[in-house]
Amino acid sequence: MKMNAVILIISAGLLLIVCPVSAATADWTSSQGENSEYLTVSFTGSISGANASTASQWVWNFGDGTTGTGQTTTHTYGTPASDDDLIWTVNLTVTTDAIDGSEVIRVADRDITLTEPSLHASYTVSPSSSGDAPLTATFTDATFGRHRIISWDFRDGSLTTTQNPVTHTFETPGQYYVKLTVNRDSSQDSWEKKIEVLNPTPVPLFHTNVSSGKYPLTVQFTDDSGISYGNITGWSWDFGDGCTSSEQNPVHTYNDVGNYDVKLTVTSNAGKYDTLTRTDCINTESGFSVSFYADNTTGRAPFTVKFTSTSTGNIDSYFWKFECEDVHSDFSTKANPEYTFRHAGEYTVTLKVTVSENGTTFSDNATKKDYITVTEAPVTATATPTAAQTTATPTPTAAPAEAKSALNESDMAFAAGNSGGTKIFGLPGTEFFRGKFVRYHGFYQDYLHFITSILGMR
């Protein structure tokens, strides 16, 4: 330690000797934090009578077995277990940087007493104090100062004395005022906070068995929606083509070309709802095709055939054409007509179909050449009565019926090219005339049939 010079004073035979003394002193102050920082203390050292600079050395002993350095420093004490843990003995040692040599100054030990904050129970909740059921939350004690947890009351029938932290799950929607009770020595305090458990919103989800194909495309929609609490009670489907459904797992058929967005809205028993939209969920391509078949293709005139269209698409109209090169042609606009062929020949059948797709109309056809084969009906020739037979039977008893039968057979024989027993068209060179006769006779028969059907005659 640096000493002041000895001063000798001789006066009247007296010798005065001044003992050497230190000219430097040191001191320190402290400041305690508040609330959650009440265990943290800031220390500031000071020196007088000597130079103090960055080269000076400041060594702190905080009394709890730890040390620090620097003219100013901060130290946090451990959580006290009793009142004895609130009092700490602190000392400071300073080494100065005096010009003529350093000097060590030690400040006498001094106690500090930490002041505990008032006992007020408190806690934090994570991740949130509000959410859908079931809600799981972690509760962390945030009471300042020395204390002990008495209980956690979750207000749903659950109570625990677990210290800290504690995790709890609220299964049912509602408001729960969770209560924490703590004590310190003879003091006790409680605090409660609202935990709000909400009715959850359902989560819409669905899948389909197919997502693309030629129309008409039938799609099975399957609901995969879920909810964490309660039940889903309502489904609202929008298939994107103007059609909707309220079934849980509907089946829907797309009848046109396009890309379709599908929406599903699900609603819970608590009235909460949500919507899922899938863009271009269903993609349909043109499914237009023309085809048909007949229930029979070969027979004798008059030959009735049932035609069935197996065409696909948004069909607007049908046009059937039945034509034979040697006879005539006819038509029908029914979807599945029934037509009678009255004359022999090879008939080519054509079906023309007109469709509409996305506002555009176009057509296509299918032809089956010589599809229907019609042969002549069997004809029985009527023999010419002899004179003897005529004389022997002057007054026939069944003349009307027999005459009618003979007339029919005669007409049939005539149409077939037979004239009694003469067989005019059977002679060599008459085949051309026979063919023309049969053709025009058939036209005449169709004409009569057409007229009588219009007039309602038989």
C-alpha 187/C-alpha 170 separation (Å) is 31
Written in H, E and C, the secondary structure of the chain is: CCCCCCCEEEECCEEEECCCCCCCEEEEEEEECCHHHCCEEEEEEEEECCCCCCCCEEEEECCCCCEEECCEEEEECCCCCCHHHHEEEEEEEEECCCCCCCCEEECCCEEEECCCCCCCCCEEEECCCEEECCEEEEEEECCCCCCEEEEEECCCCCEECCCCCEEEEECCCEEEEEEEEEEECCEEEEEEEEEEEECCCCECCEEECCCEEECCEEEEEEECCECCCCCEEEEEEECCCCCEECCCCCEEEECCCEEEEEEEEEEECCCCEEEEEEEEEEEEECCCECCEEECCCEEECCEEEEEEECCECCEEEEEEEEEECCCCEEEECCCCCEEEECCCEEEEEEEEEEEEECCEEEEEEEEEEEEEEEECCCCCCCCCCCHHHHHHCCCCCCHHHHHHHHHHHHHHHHHCCCCCCCCHHHCCCCHHHHHHHHHHHHHHHHHHHHHHHHHCCC
Q: Where are the domains of the chain?
A: 21-113, 123-198, 211-285, 292-375, 397-455
CATH code reported for the domain at 211-285? 2.60.40.10
| Model pTM score | 0.54
pLDDT one-digit tens code per residue, 180-212: 999 998 999 999 999 999 999 999 999 999 999
Domain range 123-198, its CATH number among 2.60.40.10, 3.40.50.620, 3.30.110.40, 2.40.70.10: 2.60.40.10
**Sites in the chain below the pLDDT cut of 50:** 1-12, 14, 16-21, 387-438, 441, 457-458
pLDDT at 267 (0 to 100): 98
Contact (Cβ atoms closer than 8 angstroms) between residue 204 and residue 217: no
Class of domain 292-375: mainly beta
Q: Give yes or no on whether 211-285 and 292-375 have one common fold.
A: yes
pLDDT at 437 (0 to 100): 47
pLDDT at 449 (0 to 100): 54
Class of domain 21-113: mainly beta
pLDDT at 254 (0 to 100): 94
pLDDT at 456 (0 to 100): 53
pLDDT at 304 (0 to 100): 96
Q: List CB contacts of 69: < 8 A, sequence separation 6 or more.
A: 57, 58, 59, 60
pLDDT at 11 (0 to 100): 46
Tokens standing for residue 25: 């002193």
In sequence order, the β-bridge partners of residue 32 are 41
pLDDT one-digit tens code per residue, 49-78: 766 666 678 999 999 999 999 999 999 999
Contact (Cβ atoms closer than 8 angstroms) between residue 136 and residue 168: yes
Contact (Cβ atoms closer than 8 angstroms) between residue 216 and residue 256: no
- Whose tokens are 């095709």? That residue is 289
